[in-house]
Each structure stands twice: as C-alpha cells, then as structure tokens.
Structure 1
C-alpha cells in the first residue's frame, strides 16, 4: 500500500511540474529539450552556489571581523 502511495505521489508531482512549466501540451521531443535546458540551468546554479557562496561568505566574514576588530581595538586602546 505504501509503495502505491509513493508512486501516486511521484506521478502527482511530475504532473504538477508539467503544468507549471507548460510542458504538458508539448510533443515528447519538445519536452525532452525543455527538460534538458531546465536541468542544465539548475545544475549551473547549484555548481555556482557551491563554488562561489563559500568564498563570498569568507570574504564578508573577514571584512566584518576587520571592521569590528579595528573598532574594538581602538576603543579599548
């Protein structure tokens, strides 16, 4: 029974995906092209986030630590 519910849930979410992306009325080869483009875009966003977000967080942390570190050292010294 649980396997049927999981299968129905996957079908439901896939149908929702088709409706949201307007792929429901496309031919199968057109759906393949659109799905490939969407997959490539999502993969590029995930890769970019994985590579660049930690760098920006580190730089922001260094900037803020220098800014507040110099503020604390001048106030106490």
Structure 2
C-alpha cells in the first residue's frame, strides 16, 4: 500500500469519525474539548478493563471450579 492511498484512507476514516460523532458542526475549540473528553473516557475504560477483567476472570474460574468439585487452594503454607 503506497503512502498516498494510506493517507487518503486515514483522511476518510477521520471524515467518518466526524460524521458519526456529528462533531463536524462544532467549532475547532469545541472539537478539541470533545476529542479530549472522548479520549480520556476511552483511556479510562481500557485501563479499567486491563486492571479488573483478569481479576474477575480468576474469581469466576475459582467459583466454577469449586462448584465442579475442584480442590480449594490453601493460603497457608505447609511447614515441615
């Protein structure tokens, strides 16, 4: 893919973003505020998913393994 086509594709994607969010009717300073808020919200959602989803998956696996008769892991180390 050459650079010109890639540049046109990115421009088309940005135009689609403007159309979908209806931000093409905003003034430039309003667009920057809107984009900043949107980027902040997306970043917080991604961070929260990165931090909390593995914890919830682990807890769900422990719960379902205990329902199926799995062994519980001991939190106390066995000392000999």
Whether the TM-score (by the shorter chain) exceeds 0.5 is yes
Q: Output the CA distance in 1 between the equivalents of 2:30 and 2:54.
A: 37
Give 1 or 2: higher helix fraction: 1
Instruction: Find the counterpart in structure 2 of residue 74 from structure 1.
Output: none
The aligned runs of 1:29-68 (5 Å cut-off) are 29-68=29-68
C-alpha RMSD of matched pairs (Å): 1.2
Q: Secondary structure at the match of 1:69?
A: coil
- Say how many residue pairs are matched: 70
Instruction: Find the counterpart in structure 2 of residue 5 from structure 1.
Output: 5
Instruction: Spell out, residue by residue over 1:16-52, the C-alpha distance to the aligned partner (whole angstroms, 9 max, x if none).
Output: 0011111101111000000001000000100010011
Unmatched runs of 5 consecutive residues or more in structure 2? 71-80
- TM (normalized to structure 1)? 0.87
Unmatched runs of 5 consecutive residues or more in structure 1? 71-77
Give runs of ≥4 in structure 1 deviating > 6 Å: none
